[in-house]
Structure 1
Amino acid sequence: MGPSVPVGKAPDEGEEESRLLLRFATPRDPALIAKWITYQVINTEHQDWRRGAEAALRYRQRGEHLDVPYEHVEVEGAFPLGRWLSDQRRTFRAGIMTGERAAELEELGIVWDTADAGFETNLAAARAYYALHGTLAAPRGATILDLAVGQWLTNIRRPDGLGKDPERAERRAAALDPDWNPGTLGWTVDWQRHHTYLAQLLAEGAQPAAIVPGVTRHGEDIGRWLASQRRNWNRLNEEQQHRLAELGVKKAPQARKAAAKTAAASRPRAGGEAFQKGLQALQQYLAREGGMPGRAVVERLPDGMEHRTGIWISNQKARRDRLDTAQLAALANLGIDWAR
């Protein structure tokens, strides 16, 4: 009689041994029964793990990362890959995952800490925004690299926005611009953004007197903002005043009332139409050219009127002793030295 030939599927690893244990185990052999149960549990767990690793490999081969949504289910075999990877992360954090399994998952590209992975993605967008704008004081609707970086920065400025773990929060904050959260400094994101843009204009050679309403950067009216800061100087806190002073910005002088009506009547009023037309023409020229006009300059105003701006400045200088304080201040604000 020849050797026996196995029929059907060959038993999996450990399955034959478990069958033998069960065959020879009797109700009086509790140790053998326990060992058989252990083999069955270990074998099932091994098979489940292999299924998960194979599903992760298929997912990765499709060009995806392994930051898989928790609810994701692989079509092949309807395997709950998202939940399985979440279980592997918990096992890894608990320190009970074998080194072999951890190495296999890392080779596949598993994301152990999904929170940190998300932070790094947004941090890359924030750095791109900073490279373009020189600040992280982005408006809430700002986007870059197809990411809503403005909303993300708004979110992390909220309490515990960088995470409840103090060490992690401190590490994340260190990766950002020191002024990324202006609220902790006593001013708004809007103020921080305008201050940064003002500093950039000055660093590029613009004169403070030339930054008048209508001068913009990245769509922000820096001239109007600057005039507001000078006008409302006393409402700023000490650090804001200090930062502006470092840029050469000073508080706007207060106009004094005329000593007498007769004296006021003999002088051109600060609000006089001719004087205001001259200021408008000068502001327009400075915003465009960045320097004082020559005597022959003729500026065309928005209403179509041509203004002999160069001659107008010479005339104001010739009669400066007849200009009142408000008029002199208005001229000084535009950078005319003799009016100071």
Structure 2
Amino acid sequence: MADLLAELGESGRACVIVPKLHLMEQVARLLESMALPGISRVGTGHSPDMDARIFVCVRNSAWRLAELSFDLLLLDEAHHYEPLRADAEDQESDIIGDEPDESEEDGTKWTSQTTLGMRASTVLSLHARKRLFFSATLRWSQPNFDFGLRVAVRARVISDYSILVPFMTAGDPKPSLVKLIQDLPTARRILAFCNTVKEAKQFAQLLNAAGILAGHYNGCTAGPQRTKILEDFEKGPGRGGLRVLVTVDVLSEGVDLPMADTCLFVEPKRGVKLRQCVGRVLRQHPQKVDALVVAPPIVQQAPGGDLQADSELIRLLSELLGADDELRKSLVQNSFGRVSIVDQRSNRSENPTFAQEQAATLLSTSVYPRALSSHFFSAGARWELGLAQLIQYKAEHKHCKVMMNHKASSGFALGAWVCAQRFAYRITKLTFQQIEQLDSLGFVWDAHRSAWAKGFEHLKAYEQENDHTAVPNSYNSDDGFKLGSWVSDQRKTRKGQGGGKLEPDQIEQLDSLGFAWDAQRSTWDKGFEHLQAYRKENDHTSVPRPYNSDDGFKLGCWAHRQRQARKGKGRRNLEPDQIEQLDSLGFVWSPLAHKSLSK
């Protein structure tokens, strides 16, 4: 940002928009240190110099510059200019000290409306030839300059971090959080974020009562007092200062406290900017080894009872996953290398190891997948989640033939994901690496073909056992496969009645087994063969009505049905070639007449 301003022409005019007064002062001092000329601050207590070349302006003071035109407009913390909650504008104080900052009151709701707040609209209406957005926390858009979290860690611009998930008993979490802070190394410098000023004051009092030096800071804190609190926090407990700074959302932007290395959330609600809060403890500092994020908890309703993850835990992980590919890969693999659990339950009557194992299971089977399913990260990350779920499915079921409506225990729609991969494969949207990964699992690219192959294998086994393929419609194989129905479906498909299509090679495979395409004709042929055998043995075809062949075939009934069919009384008529075949055996069409003639 400073480099862009340094390249501004002699007659050029630029403006940097920041969300808060502290940021205005920090940016202005940085630009002054670069000896850039004509810098004007614009915000509470700072009237603009309209002849200046460079303006550093707090967002809700931008209306003062509405009559100016700029060559360059730089918007820091660009997430402020994306669609916001419809009711957030009146509750958000951008300038510390301007008005009481309760930092997102309880009951705030999110809306899907794509509207901008009044202040954001004012900024975007400023006249500028070129407008550039700076952010690492956009949800829906791409900034012009984005220095993501993991990129910054690798560049050693910020510290790396780990996540600690408390495991608590249901109820007020504050006493458990106080105990957690007592158990942390005393060198840890903690920022505790609350929802309201009242809650922050209560938590600070609890900490001090427990012997933990803590200070409270909010948007109404007077300037001198605010300075004193920040100085005491910089000193730390080793020099008589504060170990914990309890605040509302006012510290999530605009305050630089690089010595802070631990971020803790006290009953966070939807309004708290979780990722920005984490960013406060990632700044580099000579004494900082790494940062710790104490996440919203896993809660046990009663001793030995069910476990439940705080919804804000899922939101926190979702937001971090969107910026940290390393954390995302770790969670996709169900790893606990970046996330750990600490048991802070007030009642530990059950086996602690077993309880922690339950909490870990909840993370890996429910929290991780839900966080990974969030909109905060790319389609590539979603694909990795689907692959991980498919690997788990195969380990349990020994195959990848996932039903279309199947959902994993976490709620992940694995069946729909599998179908999407087949479609992506058909339209060549999968990468070679993705195809290889799925192939290595034995992925079924053509579900219909796979199902057909399964049916053919059952028919093959039936033919080997029974020496024919005339499978009764109601027949099921030993494993429950409905082979009779499958055989019937093949005949219908061949006739164009099933909605599908048999491929030439499939017809060829069925023919190789002597498949009976006409079931009724096949049954008739079987009866005719029995009649031939009877005539050969008895030298006539006057089969008694109750007669059954040695194999149980009801030949007497079959012969009777042929006579009825010849008279047009049966369900099917006899074909001319069938009549001819029966006549060739001397078939007796009228047994009574034949008996009279014999007499």
Given the two structures, how large is their TM-score scaled by the length of structure 2?
Answer: 0.32
For residues 82 and 255 of structure 1, the distance between their equivalents in structure 2, rounded to whole angstroms, comes to 62
Distance 1:124 1:222, change over 3 A: farther
Offset at 1:172? 2.7
Answer yes or no: is the 8 Å Cα contact 2:527–2:558 preserved in 1: no
Q: What's the counterpart of residue 379 of structure 2?
A: 45
Answer yes or no: is the 8 Å Cα contact 1:140–1:154 preserved in 2: yes
Match of 1:180 among 496, 499, 516: 516
Distance 1:226 1:94, change over 3 A: same
Aligned partner of residue 124 in structure 1, secondary structure? helix
Matching of residue 126 in structure 1 with residue 438 in structure 2:
no
The number of residue pairs the alignment matches comes to 227
Amino acid at match of 1:239: D
- Which blocks of at least 5 consecutive residues in structure 1 are unaligned? 16-40, 183-188, 258-268, 272-324, 328-340
Alignment of 1:136-151 (within 5 A): 136-145=469-478, 146-151=480-485
Match of 1:249 among 581, 585, 592: 585
Deviations 1:87-117 (A, max 9, x none): 1111111122112111211211221111112
Deviations 1:149-186 (A, max 9, x none): 22222233335356544xx444333222455222xxxx
Q: Superposition RMSD on alpha carbons, in Å?
A: 4.1
Match of 2:522 among 189, 192, 206: 192
Aligned partner of residue 127 in structure 1, secondary structure? helix
For residues 326 and 377 of structure 2, the distance between their equivalents in structure 1, rounded to whole angstroms, comes to 7
Distance 1:231 1:62, change over 3 A: closer
Deviations 1:201-250 (A, max 9, x none): 867996364873412366430244246547867963243346657xx633
Matching of residue 326 in structure 1 with residue 598 in structure 2:
yes
For residues 134 and 242 of structure 1, the distance between their equivalents in structure 2, rounded to whole angstroms, comes to 27
Answer yes or no: is the 8 Å Cα contact 1:231–1:252 preserved in 2: no
Answer yes or no: is the 8 Å Cα contact 1:256–1:326 preserved in 2: no
Alignment of 1:249-288 (within 5 A): 249-252=585-588, 270=595
Offset at 1:126? 2.3
Amino acid at match of 1:137: A
Matching of residue 225 in structure 1 with residue 225 in structure 2:
no
Aligned partner of residue 416 in structure 2, secondary structure? helix
Matching of residue 240 in structure 1 with residue 578 in structure 2:
yes
- Which blocks of at least 5 consecutive residues in structure 2 are unaligned? 1-284, 294-319, 328-374, 568-572
Deviations 1:6-57 (A, max 9, x none): 5358963499xxxxxxxxxxxxxxxxxxxxxxxxx99622211111111111
Offset at 1:83? 1.0
Amino acid at match of 2:430: M
Q: What's the counterpart of residue 76 of structure 2?
A: none
Q: Which has the higher helix share?
A: 1
Deviations 1:127-163 (A, max 9, x none): 2333344443333222233222222222333353565
For residues 5 and 51 of structure 1, the distance between their equivalents in structure 2, rounded to whole angstroms, comes to 31
Amino acid at match of 2:598: A
Aligned partner of residue 117 in structure 1, secondary structure? helix
Q: What's the counterpart of residue 392 of structure 2?
A: 58
Matching of residue 88 in structure 1 with residue 389 in structure 2:
no
Distance 1:42 1:199, change over 3 A: farther
Answer yes or no: is the 8 Å Cα contact 2:402–2:415 preserved in 1: yes
Given the two structures, how large is their TM-score scaled by the length of structure 1?
Answer: 0.53
Q: What's the counterpart of residue 537 of structure 2?
A: 207
Alignment of 1:156-167 (within 5 A): 156-158=490-492, 159-161=495-497, 163-165=499-501
For residues 548 and 417 of structure 2, the distance between their equivalents in structure 1, rounded to whole angstroms, comes to 57
Answer yes or no: is the 8 Å Cα contact 2:408–2:414 preserved in 1: yes
Distance 1:54 1:236, change over 3 A: same
For residues 70 and 119 of structure 1, the distance between their equivalents in structure 2, rounded to whole angstroms, comes to 17
Aligned partner of residue 152 in structure 1, secondary structure? helix
Larger RCO (alpha carbons 8 Å, 6+ apart): 2
For residues 516 and 474 of structure 2, the distance between their equivalents in structure 1, rounded to whole angstroms, comes to 16
Q: What's the counterpart of residue 73 of structure 1?
A: 407
Distance 1:228 1:250, change over 3 A: farther
Distance 1:233 1:135, change over 3 A: farther
Percent identity between matched residues is: 19
Offset at 1:125? 2.3
Distance 1:326 1:81, change over 3 A: same
Q: What's the counterpart of residue 25 of structure 1?
A: none
Q: What's the counterpart of residue 284 of structure 1?
A: none
Q: Which has the higher strand share?
A: 2
Q: What's the counterpart of residue 153 of structure 1?
A: 487
Distance 1:270 1:69, change over 3 A: closer
Aligned partner of residue 450 in structure 2, secondary structure? helix
Q: What's the counterpart of residue 334 of structure 2?
A: none
